[in-house]
Structures are given as structure tokens and as C-alpha cells.
Amino acid sequence: MSAMEFGFPVFRRGRTMSSWFSFDHCNDFSYTKPAAEVVEIRSTDQWKSYFEASKGNNKLLVIQFTATWCGPCRFIDPAVKEFAATYTDVDFIKIDVDKLLLVAMQFEANTLPAFVLMKKGKQVDKVVGVKKLELQSKIEQHKI
């Protein structure tokens, strides 16, 4: 049994490493920026850290209040992911009200889904319910 049968390259005289490992295919590679995503906040500490960091910049922050048992929340999820990919200059986060009830209460997210739009740590708008076009309009309005 030879080394090649086990998948190991066999180097013979006259053969160089570069002939075994060609990087010519690298010229065909083009880098694309990964699509933005919705960050899921899982703890109070993570929320506090994210919230404090958002106060220091002028980016729009869209907070999606949701729950695993909420049908309308699951229905609008693809649209929110699409917005996150489209509006890369906007931060999108998702908060499960069952995990972070105090945060949901702080923003009076009594009906789900609820979207709170914030800038520099202050609430600038709110959308309640499955209102994709209204949410998109408010994102457009406040992202500047």
C-alpha cells in the first residue's frame, strides 16, 4: 500500500511544494461583506452593555420585543432580518420578553411584536404589531 492510497502527497525529486499547493484559484475569490443580522440579547448584562454602547453613537437602534410563543412575532421575523441586511447602518436587536421581562416593562412592550426605535439612548419612535411598512417607514425617517 502506498502513501497516496492514504491521501498523503508523495514528494518526488524534481517536484516542488508549490506544484502541490497552487494558489492560482485565489485570484477568483472576491470578498463580500457578511449580511448584517439581528443580535439576540440573552441576559440583562448583555442588554446593559449594548444599551450603554448605543448611547455613544448616532446609529439608530431598533429593538424587537418578541416571544417564542408569539405567532405574529414569528411571522414578521423574516422582514426584520431583511431590514437588518438592507439597513446596515442601523443596529437591530431582539429581546425575548419571557427572558428579559423587566426590559420589556421598561419600554412598555405590552403587545407583541413591539419595536422601539432609539437614538443616543432615547426612544424616538415605537411600532406595535405586524406593521412591516410602518416599521420600514420609521426606520427610513430616523436612520439619518
Catalytic status, residue 26: no
Angle between helices 132-142 and 71-86 (to 10 degrees): 40
Catalytic status, residue 70: yes
Phi-psi region of 14 (alpha: psi -120 to 50; beta: other; left: phi over 0): left
Q: What residues contact 23, with CB distance under 8 A and at least 6 apart? A: none
Which of 62, 73, 84, 100 is labelled catalytic?
73
Which of 70, 93, 103, 112 is labelled catalytic?
70
Question: What is the residue-wise DSSP string for 8-72?
Answer: -----TT--HHHHS--GGGGG----PPPP-PEEE-SHHHHHHHHHHHHTS--EEEEEEE-TT-HH
The residues carrying an active-site annotation are: 70, 73
